[in-house]
């Protein structure tokens, strides 16, 4: 099939879904109230609770939830064929992921901007709060450590991206100062800041940065340390100083990058060279249930419930902004995932150079996706997307060196937004755990952030100076992340049941995600046990027990409410 038809149909479907299903959820299920006071107004502190224009907050929210997720997941899932991956992205994002994000944000707006883990104690019972907070802490611990390594790896793969990514910080601080201190237009100065950032991309293409190893400390290790220092600083500053303006720039960057990709699809309109279905890929696990934990961002991701209820709800100016920010943000991420499918399944067919040989068409795809192990590494996933994207964008006449730098900055910038947002979220979680445990000193901003960063640093360097220790837990990440999504939907479902609102629209996605993640976790535990990976086995078993306990507690409450 022609890639242009796929992109066009997906775009139309998302627009229709937003104005029909999204509007129905807002009016009939979550009952959005334009007159309701939001936490940003009730608890305004100028640091975390800040009422923000919805266009600015959309940029902050979207770049926080996106990261490399909608790139990495689809780039590996296409090995089973582009049709299964595309169906899951479309159906998942509209009926599961966007519902999950919208519900998580609305429930937080109605509970003073508290995180969904904290709210679970009020809606279900205090035991569930403790269980959920432990699962969230573990998930964020993985995210911070792993994304530090991911960005460091991107810097190694694309050294041209180093200067633009770091220079984006002073540009963002300048933008925040002009908008919030001087009262200037966020659109005018946002465009100016984006132009400045693109000027740094040209500089980065000319001057790539390669860090040397220092003793036992690899270049990746050096970058991980620098990135976690940045994450500590960014997550403790008021959101208006760095995070919001930096993410606003990234929102412009996203629009430009997606515009270039869509224009490239229009100009080159390559046919899909990936097989429609390929259930017998060499070394690949079963499509069910692994597809549903491989493609998370772009379909449904548990990390989104933490962003929606942890940061975005604290900055939302009014409830009517929740639908475009949370439901709309998830649909846009789904569209990005569709473009990644096209880049990997069609764009790569325009040309791939490997081991000195140039391949085109289906042969190019087969070379990149020769087996599950060949397509599974981080470098292979990013290379597949960047190669396909560069092939399509070059069709409009841009030099490939600039395109490669642009794509490298795009990937690294979005991963950085996930890193600093996850660090801020972990601070909230640690604070809530500390207060519940009656150790309030650890709940203060700097001690909580230090614990968040220090524990991630210990995990990253648990393997030595290469700082890749967190990657040993990567096999657990997909299942744990999706588990969060199912549990968040459980909390939202109980909340709706307490309000005597029809729960079917959250209950069906909840049941589906819990079944898929439990099934995937069982497969993982069997594999970890047979391979004597005892750390993974023990951690996975503990999380499974916590999950089952929380599900039982939630179902008992739902049964009690039904009897009443």
Rounded Cα distance, 442 and 492, in Å: 29
- How many domains in the chain? 1
The 10s digit of each residue's pLDDT in 156-207 is 888 988 999 999 999 999 999 999 999 999 999 999 999 999 899 888 888 9
For residue 75, what are the CA distances in angstroms to 373, 387, 457?
13, 11, 28
Rg of the Cα trace of the chain? 22
pTM: 0.92
* Number of other residues whose CB lies within 10 A of the CB of residue 5: 12
Reference 143, options 316, 329, 251, 301; nearest CA is 301
The answer to whether 496 and 248 are in contact (CB under 8 A) is no
The pLDDT value given to residue 316: 96
Reference 76, options 261, 359, 298; nearest CA is 298
Rounded Cα distance, 343 and 3, in Å: 9
Confidence band, pLDDT 50/70/90 cuts, at residue 383: confident
The pLDDT value given to residue 418: 86
Higher per-residue confidence, 473 vs 534: 534
The 10s digit of each residue's pLDDT in 24-62 is 999 999 999 999 999 999 999 988 999 999 999 998 899
Report DSSP state, residue 42: H
Residue 397 pLDDT exceeds 70: yes
Quickly list H helices, 237-327: 243-268, 287-294, 303-307, 313-315, 322
Rounded Cα distance, 351 and 373, in Å: 22
Q: Which domain holds residue 143?
A: 3-563
- Work out the average pLDDT over 261-274: 95
User: Residue 222: which CATH number?
Assistant: 1.20.1740.10
Higher per-residue confidence, 468 vs 78: 78
* Number of other residues whose CB lies within 10 A of the CB of residue 458: 13
**How much is the mean pLDDT over the chain?**
91
Rounded Cα distance, 335 and 331, in Å: 6
Confidence band, pLDDT 50/70/90 cuts, at residue 376: low
The answer to whether 250 and 164 are in contact (CB under 8 A) is no
Residue 374 pLDDT exceeds 80: no
Higher per-residue confidence, 39 vs 478: 39
The pLDDT value given to residue 378: 66
The 10s digit of each residue's pLDDT in 286-319 is 999 999 999 998 999 999 999 999 899 999 999 9
For residue 82, list its beta bridge partners: none
Rounded Cα distance, 311 and 112, in Å: 12
Report the share of the chain in percent with pLDDT over 70: 99
Rounded Cα distance, 521 and 153, in Å: 27
For the record, the structure tokens of 460 come out as: 């990253």
Higher per-residue confidence, 251 vs 323: 323
């Amino acid at each position: 099939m022609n890639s242009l038809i796929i992109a066009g149909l997906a775009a139309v479907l998302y627009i229709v879904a937003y104005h029909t299903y999204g509007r129905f959820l807002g009016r009939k299920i979550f009952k959005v109230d334009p007159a309701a006071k939001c936490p940003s107004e009730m608890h305004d502190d100028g640091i975390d609770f800040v009422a923000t224009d919805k266009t600015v907050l959309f940029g902050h929210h979207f770049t926080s939830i996106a990261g490399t997720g909608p790139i990495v997941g689809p780039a590996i899932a296409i090995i089973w064929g582009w049709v299964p991956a595309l169906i899951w992205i479309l159906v998942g994002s509209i009926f599961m992921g966007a519902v999950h994000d919208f519900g998580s944000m609305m429930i937080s707006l109605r509970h003073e901007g508290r995180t969904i883990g904290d709210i679970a104690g009020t809606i279900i019972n205090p035991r569930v709060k403790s269980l959920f907070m432990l699962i969230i802490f573990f998930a964020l611990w993985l995210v911070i450590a792993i994304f530090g390594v991911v960005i460091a790896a991107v810097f190694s793969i694309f050294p041209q991206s180093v200067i633009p990514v770091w220079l984006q910080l002073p540009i963002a601080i300048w933008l925040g100062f002009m908008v919030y201190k001087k009262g200037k237009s966020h659109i005018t100065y946002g465009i100016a800041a984006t132009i400045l950032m693109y000027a740094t991309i040209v500089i980065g293409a000319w001057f790539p940065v390669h860090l040397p190893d220092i003793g036992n400390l690899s270049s990746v290790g050096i970058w991980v340390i620098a990135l976690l220092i940045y994450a500590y600083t960014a997550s403790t500053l008021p959101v208006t100083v760095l995070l919001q303006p930096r993410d606003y720039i990234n929102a412009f960057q996203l629009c430009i990058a997606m515009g270039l990709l869509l224009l490239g699809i229009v100009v080159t309109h390559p046919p899909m060279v990936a097989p429609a279905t390929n259930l017998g890929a060499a070394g690949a696990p079963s499509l069910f249930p692994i597809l549903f934990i491989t493609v998370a961002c772009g379909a449904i991701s548990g990390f989104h419930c933490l962003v929606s209820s942890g940061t975005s709800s604290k900055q939302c100016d009014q409830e009517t902004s929740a639908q475009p920010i949370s439901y709309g943000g998830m649909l846009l991420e789904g569209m990005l995932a569709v473009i990644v499918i096209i880049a990997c399944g069609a764009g790569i067919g325009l040309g791939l150079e490997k081991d000195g040989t140039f391949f085109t068409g289906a042969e190019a795809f087969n070379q990149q996706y020769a087996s599950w192990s060949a397509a599974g590494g981080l470098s292979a996933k990013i290379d597949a997307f960047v190669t396909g994207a560069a092939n399509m964008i070059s069709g409009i006449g841009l030099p490939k060196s600039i395109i490669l730098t642009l794509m490298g900055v795009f990937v690294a910038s979005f991963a950085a937004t996930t890193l600093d947002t996850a660090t801020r979220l972990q601070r909230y979680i640690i604070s809530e755990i500390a207060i519940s445990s009656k150790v309030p000193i650890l709940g203060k901003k700097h001690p909580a952030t230090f614990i968040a960063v220090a524990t991630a640093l210990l995990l990253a360097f648990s393997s030595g100076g290469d700082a890749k220790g967190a990657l040993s837990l990567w096999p657990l990440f997909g299942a744990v992340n999706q588990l969060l999504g199912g549990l968040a939907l459980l909390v939202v479902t109980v909340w709706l049941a307490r309000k005597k609102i029809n729960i079917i629209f959250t209950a069906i996605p909840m049941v589906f995600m819990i079944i898929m993640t439990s099934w995937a976790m069982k497969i993982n535990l069997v594999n970890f046990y047979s391979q004597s990976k005892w750390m993974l086995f023990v951690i996975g078993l503990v999380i499974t027990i916590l999950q089952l306990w929380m599900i039982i507690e939630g179902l008992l409450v739902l049964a009690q409410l039904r009897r009443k």
